Structure formats: structure tokens, C-alpha cells
Structure 1
Amino acid sequence: MKVAVIRYNAGNVQSVVYALERLGVTPLWTDDHETIKSADKVIFPGQGEASTAMAYLRERGLDQLIVNLKQPVLGICIGLQLMCGHSEEGDTKCLGIFDLEVRKFVSRQSTTGNTKYKIPHMGWNRLENCEGKIFSGLNNPYVYYVHSFYADKGDDTVGTTDYILPFSGALHKDNFYAVQAHIEKSGTDGQKILTNFLEL
């Protein structure tokens, strides 16, 4: 199986490469259009800032390439956010695969009033109400998050997470899948989600 990991100016990509290698897959970390188009599966991961990431994608024509891919594509963390329509981070027009707004968390007191939610949302949390083949064999997987922005819920939401408010923890439309959590750092549950995607 040929798996392409999209190379752009985003951090934390190497951890995804390592996670794939643990599953016996040697991915191609690349920004070459032909290599990406010919891959069996494409992964769009990373951490970073939306406006600079989108600028890099546009400069290299990767924005148009990604939205026109026909094979299964998986966005992870900022990959999910960039696959939405718009992000409040840098007032950024994104890829528009999912017609959703990405918003910044606003901290508030918990309902008990005893604690204040911290931003970024960092640590382990449940991914609930999961639907679709990438969650086969899982029940409310426990996954690892690091993010200050979140995607609204909408028609393409196939999993939700609650932190300050419920948000889209996972999205799916046609051949495009996305998860907000760092599944490559999420132990056996994250590995299962990645395996399920590779087996689509």
C-alpha cells in the first residue's frame, strides 16, 4: 500500500510517520503532486497556525490538489481545521471540504464553578457518538488532544468531544475523513482508528 503524508509547514508530522511505521507502513512524506495523487491513501496531519499553513498550501498548489483527491484522505488536528470552510485563527479561508467554522475556545468556569477550563484543550478525552468505518470496533475511544481552536458541529460530524462545549471531534464527507485528536499519540484506540482508515 502506498501512503502519502502531505508535507507542508506544519509541526508534529514525524509522529504520524512513526505511527504508520509501527503498523508496518512506510509512508512517503511529500509535497509532490504526482506522488500524492497516485497514493492509495493520503494523510494530512500536523500542528500549526492556520493562516501560514494555508498560505504555504496555496503557494504550492496543494490546496487545489487536496480538494480534488479521489482516494481516502485523513486530516489530523490542524488537518481537520484546514479542511473546514473558515478559521477564526488569522481570519483564514480554508479548503472548504467541510462547510464548518473553526472557532477559538473561550475559557469559562465549569458548571460546578470549582475549576476554570484551560486553553489549549490538552490531554485525554472521549470521542463520542462515533459513526462510520474508521471507528469500527471502538466504543467512545479515549484519545489525546492539543488544540486551542475547534470545529463547530454540523452535517458532516461523525464524532463529538465535549470540552467547554461539544465540538466536532471527527468529520466525514465522501472520501474525506478528519479527526481533531492526535490519534498517532492516542495509544491502542488511536492506532485502531489509523488501522481502520488504512483498511478502507
Structure 2
Amino acid sequence: MRWLLLIILLTGCSAIPLSPGPQLNRVPEGTLDAPAARTSLAALPLAAPGRLDGYSRDCDKGACVFGQPWFDTDGDGCDQRSQVLARDLADVQRKPGRCGVQSGTLDDPYTGSRVTSVSKIQIDHVVPLAEMWRSGAAGWPQEKRVTAANDLRNLVAVTGSVNQSKGDKTPDEWMPPSAAYACSYGRIYVTVKAAYGLSVAPAERSALEKALATCDTPPAT
């Protein structure tokens, strides 16, 4: 038990995976249900991924094609990162007199683990911005790209390490380590692609169909 407590204190993560439940299977408000996601996926235009010419996530170089990260889109003084942390974490404590979250507990849906250190949490774009660029966003006006990059339906708080391992990968290249979240992940992904009329590649569509097929299978206990 002492070693278990030491691991938790050092990593900020639970050493014991959590059982799937409502918190681990959560999806952002506005996410399509499984039948609607299947219908929407079938209607998405099928196309090979476009080129990444002109894409840059680094605003330091002046490109900033999706705008400054975590823009306060609704002007309420609270940026999107802080809004997602407040939405997805439990026992949230904000910084004194500010919107920023300084502490809270995350039940990470991607890994099924509990994270107790905010510094170890990142916000994932379920549909990566690079993938948005390849599947249609390259031709959008800047304002639409800023809106898409900060759309709360596409943002999920997860463990930083798993977010880094995902990078810009699409569902045919990467899925959450926790198989129990495949259905939810597929629903979120399709919701965003459909909302912005983005295309899907054949392998990407196939992977999403498999993910949505798990919606009919109760998670293992």
C-alpha cells in the first residue's frame, strides 16, 4: 500500500484503472448519438487527405492558421482550455480571482485512469487541427478556422502523455487505449466532421464504422 501511495503522489495518476462508468464515457454537449453518427458518417464526402502546405500550429512563426490557441470565443473572460478543464474535471478549484483551474481530478476517458495533477492534463482536439486542414479547413476563412479550433464539441481533457502519443493521427492510425471509449470517441469525431462538412479518407471511415459498431456492445465488466 505504501508503494501504491508513492506512485500516485509521484505521477499524479491512479495506479489502478477505473471501471467504465458515466464519467469515463462522457461526451461533450451536442455530440451525436450512435444512430445519428452512423447516418452522418455515411453522408460525409469521401476523399484522400489533402496536403499540409500552408499549415502551421506554431503562432510564434506568424502563421497561426487556426488563431491563437485557446481563444476566448464567447468573450466571457474564460479561455477554452479553462472551460474544458472546468467541464471535465471534478472537485475543481480555480485560481484566486481568475477563471483558470488550479486543481481538480480527471477520470481520463482515453486511458481509464485518474489524474490528480492539472499539470499532467492536456486538451485534445479529437479531430486534430492538421486533419481539419487536410480535409477541408485549408480553404476556409480564418474566422471559421478559429471557431472550429475552439469548438467545445471537439475538445476533451485527457492525460498529457496519451495526447502526445496521439498527435495528429486519425482513427485508422490511433484510437484511445481504453477500448470502452471507442464508441464515444467515434461519435465525437463524426459529430465534428459532420458539423463542418469535412471529408473522410476510406481507411478513416472504416475505422470510424468499427468504433461506432462498439456502441451496440456493452462494455466488459
TM-score by length of 2: 0.23
Question: Whose helix proportion is higher, 1 or 2?
Answer: 2
* Bigger radius of gyration among the two: 2
Query: What TM-score comes out, normalization by structure 1 length?
Result: 0.24
